[in-house]
Amino acid sequence: MSIRTLCFIAAVIAGVAGLNWLWPFFILAAVVLPYVAVVNANAANTRTDALPLTGGGRADRQLGAGSRADEETGER
């Protein structure tokens, strides 16, 4: 993101300095660089074939029904 900001600032400076052939390249770079970065980030293969949750969890950490719910419904 900082490179994109620098490209916009450089485009303004190039435009004010009268370098009319240079500022379109900076604008193009400011538009294209984020697209390339997102495509590269999404193209990374982060999937694995391993199952991360193989233990099935701990049974002693499950919550049971509350006592107040039993009193209101009359069930046990």
CA–CA separation, 21 and 27 (whole Å): 11
| Structural domain spans, the chain | 1-42
The Cα 42–Cα 76 span in angstroms is: 51
Mean per-residue pLDDT pooled into runs of 10, the chain (76 residues): 89 93 93 88 72 63 67 60
pLDDT of residue 16: 94
Residue 42: per-residue pLDDT: 84
| Confidence (pLDDT) at 29 | 93
The whole-number pLDDT of residue 1 equals: 76
Res 68: pLDDT: 73
pLDDT of residue 21: 93
CB-neighbour burial class of residue 23 (10 A; exposed 0-12, middle 13-18, buried 19+): buried
